Amino acid sequence: MHKEDPQLRAYFARASFLKSAPDPAHLPADRGAEIAFAGRSNAGKSSALNALCAQKTLARASKRPGRTQLLNVFVLDESKRLVDLPGYGYAEAPKEMRQNWGLVMDEYFSSRQSLKLTVLMMDIRHPLRPFDEMLIESCTARGLPVHVLLTKADKLSRGAAMGVLQKLRHALPEGVSVQLFSVLSGQGIEEARGFLRGVLEEHGQAEVPAEES
């Protein structure tokens, strides 16, 4: 089956919940490296976060629209964070709430210096919906890379899943990578962890605090 590197697992298993921020202004200081998790509601974002961090209840985000408008911050250490963004695409959410979502996300993507990667969860059976395209555009416009997890890959045959993967590899713009992912079979968890650790290690070196006078 899918082998796990215990060190790589432990790297993410140390993740712990820090806080929920109502907007980017309430996030921790903009230092170190941050990776954002985004996706349509029901794309498998909570399941992916929990699987990557080898924890059952890390991402407890409520499924109710009113409770999803928060940025949930998890820390690996003082200079490395994972941020669970509000799920988008709730048909039943009020219009103002959806508009507000767009504004909050734009503000976050354009201003957050420590944000080094967005992980975008897309159900392999419904990839690249308009909201996904909008989000990819927001990120790539400011040179922020996006890594797409094609979730629930177990729902398709191996051949069909590979077909979607190849198609997206061609369709996605530069700066956007893509892989298969399934929490059910374990496919792609190791690959995603390796990719994310690479980003965090490249950008998330702890800064030596200036000596206080």
DSSP secondary structure, 94-152, as one string: -HHHHHHHHHHHHHHHHH-TTEEEEEEEEETTS-S-HHHHHHHHHHHHTT--EEEEEE-
Strand 71-77 versus strand 16-21 pairing type: antiparallel
Interface mask (CB under 6 A) for ligand GDP, residues 45-84, using x and -? Answer: xxx-------------------------------------
What radius of gyration, in Å, describes the C-alpha atoms of the chain?
Answer: 17
Residue 86 contacts ligand GDP per CB under 6 A:
no
Site for ligand GDP contains 151 (CB under 6 A): yes
**Per CB under 6 A, which region of 28-36, 74-82, 134-142, 176-184 contacts ligand GDP?**
176-184
| Residues of span 1-40 touching ligand GDP by CB under 6 A | 39
C-beta atoms surrounding 113 within 10 Å: 8
Four-residue CA torsion sign, 114, 178, 57, 23: positive
Report, in Å, the least distance between residue 208 CB and ligand GDP: 37
Stretch that binds ligand GDP, among 13-21, 43-51, 156-164, 170-178 (CB under 6 A): 43-51
Q: Which residues bind ligand GDP (CB under 6 A)?
A: 39, 41-47, 87, 151-152, 154-155, 182-184
